[in-house]
């Protein structure tokens, strides 16, 4: 066991870093420390005891120990090298993949029932082992946590900033046991077992010797977490970021012939055909050179500004531009033309992957569309809440419609349809996400139509569809829905749920959401936001107030247009209430992805 003794002033930062990597074990306890002065009084400073990895495997602890012997060279002039992380959404609602393939791969039972875990962030299991590795030094641990600035400085005499460590070697591992022991690789998941065999059989011994590397060194610096979206094996962002792997890939290309033999054996073992290293979705990206018909950035269009090559724009389509293919077929490389105006040939030649969550198939092209695995619980929650709405409506002989203003590949749209909503209306600007939604809907047995102009479509065709997709800005949603209500027979069922799933804030869609909800019956608006942990309650009140203001504005416009008081004969106006706050996932240190379930009353509910 490794224990950090941290001064109170640094507790919050160290605790956050440990929690991000899943390394904090047990409660944080306090103890008084004197300064060791000759008078015995001491300075009485309070240290907080934090235990690291009480359930880490013995191999991982020894790996940290071995890494200490070379940390000063490996991390010279660097900050946090080898501990780079993806973010579950990246810079959006998701895209931090890099998770364990499943619980079987992420957690395995060792001998005697001891559970072995990775650190949950793909930080690897250390370096090669020696007979007597010695304890890890403080530099190793703080660099591993991305906190090198907390290292004691030689020029500082203040004892209050010092962090100390204590080591309790795991009793279950003999100091003479090494990764080459017969049972070592049997404890690893399928990827690491295959990687161990591939490194030993595919890399020339002379190459490894010239780099002072061994297959075991490389294996133990490779993360145990991974994801398979067939046929893609997706590695976490730091998979090749450790000193040993950077040394190897500086000599031979990671996507070259030699490493191709390694990846070929690994993919075969996990049921994949190609490999990529995941990266977070960038919040902004360089402006491409566009044709006159290419869609501009919304932010620039709204401001009436010209886009210029070399400038940055908001990545409003959430393009996964940082994904790094390293093995296998991924289709033609993305271009601005192919991204914004794909042809049927582009779609057919691209790599498409899929997964099933909550019994729903989802499909996407990983070079062109994002996917957030971390939203699976939120999708299930919406499925349950939507099912309750459908049950209540059918009890009154009615059907329901849902609207998803940021549909993507169908993250939440499919949950609404599975819950029993008669129709789901989707708005999505990325043509690749629209195609993924179309394919996924078909795979789930639903009919889907893509409409650039509903007025040109046949009324009977619209009426038979389960999912309607509008490849345009959701600012047009209200007018499109008004057209549908005039076109369709039988009428469009009442809209009872509107999903606004865009990060860091979906506020720009709330006015539209209020206006498309059914006036008579009311319903839910699901507002997704990134919020500071300490600000959630305050933000809840702000969201409820803003939705209420949009409702008051809408009621005033309706009254103006019809010429009579909308609420005449009622005791009060319609109310807005934030009924639930769901903490979806951690987006960044101290920042939570939150969904506010805001209920807007219908006129039938007002006395």
Q: Which pLDDT score, from 0 to 100, does residue 404 have?
A: 97
Q: Which pLDDT score, from 0 to 100, does residue 67 have?
A: 38
Position 139 confidence tier, pLDDT thresholds 50, 70, 90: low
Position 458 confidence tier, pLDDT thresholds 50, 70, 90: low
Convert 453-513 into a string of H (helix), E (strand) and C (coil).
CHHHCCHHHHHHCCEEEECCCHHHHHHHHHHHHHHCCCCCCCEEEEEECCCCECHHHHHHH
pTM for this entry:
0.66
CA dihedral of 160, 161, 162, 168, whole degrees rounded to 10: 90
Cis bond upstream, residue 117 (ω within 30): no
Q: Which of 221-230, 279-288, 443-452 has the lowest mean pLDDT?
A: 279-288
CATH 3.40.50.150 residue window(s) in the chain: 392-605
How do beta strands 423-427 and 401-404 pair? parallel
According to DSSP, the residues that pair with 505 across neighbouring strands are 529
Cis bond upstream, residue 61 (ω within 30): no
Give me the helix-helix angle, 257-270 and 190-202, nearest 10°. Answer: 150
Concatenating the DSSP letter of every residue in 35-96 gives: ---TTS----EEEEEEEE-TTB-HHHHHHHHHHHTTHHHHTTT-SSTT-----TTTTBSB--
Q: Residue 498 contacts by C-beta under 8 Å, 6 or more apart in sequence?
A: 402, 403, 404, 405, 513, 516, 517, 523, 524, 525, 526
Q: How far apart are CA 494 and CA 484, in angstroms?
A: 12
Q: How big is the chain by its Cα radius of gyration, in Å?
A: 28
Q: How far apart are CA 376 and CA 108, in angstroms?
A: 23
Q: Which pLDDT score, from 0 to 100, does residue 597 have?
A: 96
pLDDT digits (tens, 9 = 90+) for 180-215: 444 444 446 889 999 999 999 999 999 999 999 999
pLDDT digits (tens, 9 = 90+) for 72-115: 332 222 222 222 233 333 333 333 333 333 333 333 333 333 23
15 pLDDT more than 60: yes
- Asked if 418 contacts 359 with a C-beta cutoff of 8 angstroms, the reply is yes
pLDDT digits (tens, 9 = 90+) for 560-590: 876 656 655 566 789 999 999 999 988 878 8
Determine the number of helices (DSSP H) and then strands (DSSP E) in the chain: 20, 22
What are 565's two structure tokens? 């008081």
Pick the CATH number of 392-605 from 3.30.2290.10, 3.10.690.10, 3.30.420.40, 3.40.50.150: 3.40.50.150
**Percentage of the residues of the chain whose pLDDT score is greater than 90:** 43
Determine the average pLDDT of the residues in 447-459.
Answer: 74
CA-nearest of 154, 147, 133 to 61 is 133
Q: Which of 360-374, 456-470, 504-518 has the lowest mean pLDDT?
A: 456-470
Q: Which helix (H) or strand (E) element contains residue 448?
A: strand 448-450
Q: How far apart are CA 47 and CA 576, in angstroms?
A: 48
Determine the average pLDDT of the residues in 543-560.
Answer: 92
Q: Which pLDDT score, from 0 to 100, does residue 17 have?
A: 75
Kindly state the greatest CA–CA separation across the chain.
93
């Amino acid at each position: 066991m490794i224990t950090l003794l941290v001064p109170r002033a640094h507790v919050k930062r160290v605790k956050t870093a440990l929690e991000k990597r899943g390394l904090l074990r047990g409660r944080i306890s306090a103890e008084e420390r004197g300064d060791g002065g000759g008078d015995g009084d001491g300075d009485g400073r309070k240290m907080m005891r934090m235990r690291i990895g009480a359930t880490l495997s013995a191999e991982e602890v020894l790996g940290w120990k071995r890494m200490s012997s070379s940390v000063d060279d490996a991390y010279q002039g660097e900050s946090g090298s080898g501990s780079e992380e993806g973010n579950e959404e990246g810079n959006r609602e998701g895209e931090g993949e890099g998770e364990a393939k499943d619980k079987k791969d992420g957690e395995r039972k060792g001998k005697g029932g001891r559970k072995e875990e990775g650190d949950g962030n793909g930080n690897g299991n250390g370096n090669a082992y020696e007979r007597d590795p010695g304890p890890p030094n403080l530099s190793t641990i703080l660099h591993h946590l991305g906190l090198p600035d907390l290292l004691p400085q030689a020029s500082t005499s203040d004892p209050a900033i010092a962090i100390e460590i204590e080591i309790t070697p795991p009793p279950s591992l003999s100091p003479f046991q090494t990764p080459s022991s017969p049972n070592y690789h049997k404890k690893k998941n399928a990827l690491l077992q295959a990687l161990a065999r591939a490194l030993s059989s595919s890399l020339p011994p002379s190459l490894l010797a010239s780099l002072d590397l061994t297959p075991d060194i490389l294996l133990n610096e490779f993360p145990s977490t991974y994801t398979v979206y067939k046929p893609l094996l997706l590695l976490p962002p730091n998979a090749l970021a450790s000193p040993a792997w950077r040394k190897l890939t500086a000599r031979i290309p990671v996507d070259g012939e030699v490493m191709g033999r390694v990846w070929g054996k690994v993919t075969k073992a996990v049921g994949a055909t190609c490999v990529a290293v995941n990266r977070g979705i960038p919040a902004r990206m360089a402006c491409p050179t566009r044709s006159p018909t290419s869609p501009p950035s919304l932010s620039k269009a709204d401001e009436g500004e010209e886009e210029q090559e070399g400038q940055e724009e908001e990545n409003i389509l959430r393009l996964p531009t940082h994904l790094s293919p390293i093995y296998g077929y991924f289709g033609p490389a993305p271009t601005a033309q192919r991204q914004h105006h794909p042809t049927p040939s582009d779609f057919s030649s691209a790599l498409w992957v899929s997964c099933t969550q909550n019994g729903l198939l989802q499909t996407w092209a990983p070079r062109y569309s994002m996917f957030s695995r971390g939203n699976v619980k939120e999708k299930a929650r919406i499925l349950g809440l939507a099912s309750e709405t459908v049950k209540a409506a059918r009890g009154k002989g009615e059907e329901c419609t849902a609207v998803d203003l940021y549909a993507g590949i169908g993250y939440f749209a499919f949950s609404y349809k599975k819950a029993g909503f008669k129709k789901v209306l989707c708005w999505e600007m990325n043509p690749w996400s629209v195609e993924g939604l179309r394919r996924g809907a078909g795979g789930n047995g639903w009919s889907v139509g893509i409409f650039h102009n509903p007025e040109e479509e046949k009324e009977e065709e619209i009426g038979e569809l389960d999912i309607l997709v509008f490849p345009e800005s959701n600012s047009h949603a209200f007018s499109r829905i008004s057209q549908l209500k005039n076109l369709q027979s039988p009428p469009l069922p009442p809209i009872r749920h509107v999903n606004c799933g865009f990060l860091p804030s979906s506020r720009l869609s709330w006015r539209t959401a209020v206006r498309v909800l059914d006036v008579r019956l009311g319903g839910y608006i699901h507002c997704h936001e990134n919020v500071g942990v300490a600000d959630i309650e305050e933000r809840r009140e702000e969201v409820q107030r803003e939705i209420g203001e949009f409702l008051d504005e809408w009621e005033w416009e309706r009254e103006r247009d019809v010429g009579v008081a909308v609420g005449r004969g009622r005791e009060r106006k319609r109310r807005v209430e934030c009924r639930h706050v769901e903490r979806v996932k951690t987006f960044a240190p101290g920042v939570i992805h939150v969904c506010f379930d805001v209920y807007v009353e219908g006129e039938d509910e007002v006395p």
